[in-house]
Structure 1
Amino acid sequence: MGEIDKTELVALTHRLADAARGETLRYFRSSGLDTSSKEADRFDPVTVADRAAEKAMRDILDRERPQDAILGEEYGTKQGSSGLTWVLDPIDGTRGYISGTPTWGTLVGLHDGTRVILGLIDQPYIGERFLGGLGQASFKGPHSDGPLQVSGCKTLADATIFTTFPEVGTATQAAAFREVAETCRLTRYGMDCYAYALLAAGQIDLVIEAGLAPYDIQGPIGVVEAAGGVVTDWQGAPADQGGTAVAAASPEMHAAVLEILARHV
């Protein structure tokens, strides 16, 4: 992949996030937001904003990269011929979105058939954007911008750990998470994809999750790895196809977490 191609792909990724940002902000904290549940037995929300934001990104890709495949949360898979797949989550953290918290985000990942080569996390309401891959690791926000770099924290006793839901998947997975969390200095919940952005920015040290889809994790993988972090599943294998994920600020911390998780799963 030449330098010109890399530059174009990064620029396109920003355009996708810009398009999604316009749609998500249009509906955020608005009265009468159209919300429904994807599942009958539990509340798994989807909104008009989710669909509008993904459609806006897909429209751009259809015009500018019709040869590429697309995998999106709301509209599924479109096959391609280039070997590249754009992986889209228009609103990661829809529960937070409908609650009015500014911790949701738009995720864009670019996968080359083997691995994630580019990732983006965008928080439109705060106005922060985190990008990693193709030789870049940077953030831009209303107060500052600059390079991304994980904290490098090596010991769990010094770590701040995040996960989205206290129950963390199955009962067995929740027990595994609790054992890790009990060794950490500070445990916090929520944030969805924004936790991975904080990890890449060096603010926190560890994110552990379960029950992920590919579109939940591929954007964060690109950002965290470019910032110097380590991301795998709970067994140490690639996490790009979803399931479980451990994102750590150092190889030492990552290894310590896997050792604890292995006692449970």
Structure 2
Amino acid sequence: MEAVSDSQSTCPPRLVDFAEELAGMAAAVARSYFRTSVSIDTKGDESPVTIADRTAEQRMREAISQRFPDHGVFGEEFGVDNPDADYIWVLDPIDGTKAFITGNPLFGTLVALLHKGRPLLGVIEMPALGERWIGAAGHPSRRRDANGLQDVRVRPCPDLGKAIMRTTSPDMFQGPQAGAYTSLEQACSLTLYGGDCFCYGQLASGFVDLVVESSLKPYDFMAALPVVTGAGAMATDWQGRPLTLDSAGDVLVAGDPAVHARALALLSGKT
């Protein structure tokens, strides 16, 4: 059992190393099943799940229980353990299972650690691409690939009319949100669909300017928050509030504060 200080403004390197270890073990599981004939089950919310999702999360949970038995875990496949713990790991073993089961390499593993409800660190792992983004409180965000580790930074883009936006699918926006989203899309220069967690890595690296999504679960976005904010982005819900475990999951991330403000006005109906 490893002890962790209860006061965290800067994430200790050993926690970052462990988060990368978790992401790596889940990625190894995902790669072993990728583009193989795995059976596909359907969960209660009609989303697909495979043995790869379940095995990867089990491996991560086992590692956490051995290293930090007093920590909580919130995982997509096996729910919440020890929810009142000061430290809670938030896990999505395969973010983008639809991409995974169709042989699309844009699926990822997400690992986040919250301290008293606040995101302390996050890892976006792309198993099929060999890329990893790491964000940790008190440190600049970084990207790791076969060439090593480099700091990443969002790019300036104060003009929404020149912004490139990404979202997983336009189908996630329903009811009044659909109209607000359409207004934002029409105001941007280019919108690309698909990518799931990869979109947040692209934004952190300065290749796109906006990521907008709706009705996500905490395990879909928690790991991305330290990555994008550590790279200089602004991340809120559609009302400009901080994203937490209790958020509705309506996510707006922008690399430039001026674009965030303009996008927020359109999405919140305050234009």
Is the structural similarity TM-score above 0.5? yes
CA offsets, 1:78-124, max 9 Å, x none? Answer: 10665010000001110011011111100011111231111110001
Structure 1 Cα separation of the partners of residues 16 and 221 of structure 2:
18
User: 1:224 — aligned with what?
Assistant: 228
Structure 2 Cα separation of the partners of residues 190 and 199 of structure 1:
14
Structure 2 Cα separation of the partners of residues 155 and 197 of structure 1:
21
Task: Please report the RMSD computed on the Cα atoms of aligned residues, expressed in angstroms.
Answer: 1.9
Is residue 2:72 matched to residue 1:66? no
Structure 1 Cα separation of the partners of residues 8 and 210 of structure 2:
34
Secondary structure in 1 aligned to 2:170?
coil
Structure 2 Cα separation of the partners of residues 30 and 194 of structure 1:
22
2:181 counterpart letter in structure 1: F
**2:254·2:260 contact (CA, 8 Å) conserved in 1?**
yes
Structure 1 Cα separation of the partners of residues 31 and 8 of structure 2:
35
Q: Which consecutive unaligned segments of at least 5 residues does structure 1 have?
A: none
User: 1:135 — aligned with what?
Assistant: 138
**1:206·1:247 contact (CA, 8 Å) conserved in 2?**
yes
**1:70·1:80 contact (CA, 8 Å) conserved in 2?**
yes
Distance apart, 1:176 and its partner CA: 1.0
Is residue 2:266 matched to residue 1:263? no
Distance apart, 1:134 and its partner CA: 2.7
Distance apart, 1:142 and its partner CA: 2.7
2:253 counterpart letter in structure 1: A
Q: Which consecutive unaligned segments of at least 5 residues does structure 2 have?
A: 1-6
**1:102·1:126 contact (CA, 8 Å) conserved in 2?**
yes
Structure 1 Cα separation of the partners of residues 8 and 214 of structure 2:
36
Structure 1 Cα separation of the partners of residues 258 and 118 of structure 2:
22
User: 2:31 — aligned with what?
Assistant: 25
1:220 counterpart letter in structure 2: A
Is residue 2:175 matched to residue 1:162? no
2:59 counterpart letter in structure 1: A
Moved more, 77-86 or 203-212: 77-86
Percent identical residues: 37
Distance 1:185 1:69, change over 3 A: same
Secondary structure in 1 aligned to 2:260?
helix
Secondary structure in 1 aligned to 2:12?
helix
CA offsets, 1:64-86, max 9 Å, x none? Answer: 01011100000101106650100
Moved more, 168-177 or 60-69: 168-177
**1:175·1:264 contact (CA, 8 Å) conserved in 2?**
no
**1:159·1:185 contact (CA, 8 Å) conserved in 2?**
yes
User: 2:121 — aligned with what?
Assistant: 118
**1:66·1:80 contact (CA, 8 Å) conserved in 2?**
no
User: 2:3 — aligned with what?
Assistant: none
TM-score of the superposed pair, with normalisation by structure 2: 0.92
User: 1:237 — aligned with what?
Assistant: 241
Aligned equivalent of 2:194, options 190, 194, 201: 190
Distance apart, 1:151 and its partner CA: 1.0
Distance 1:158 1:72, change over 3 A: same
Distance apart, 1:168 and its partner CA: 2.7
Aligned equivalent of 1:149, options 122, 146, 153: 153
Structure 2 Cα separation of the partners of residues 46 and 155 of structure 1:
40
TM-score of the superposed pair, with normalisation by structure 1: 0.94
**2:123·2:223 contact (CA, 8 Å) conserved in 1?**
yes
User: 1:90 — aligned with what?
Assistant: 93
**1:45·1:94 contact (CA, 8 Å) conserved in 2?**
yes
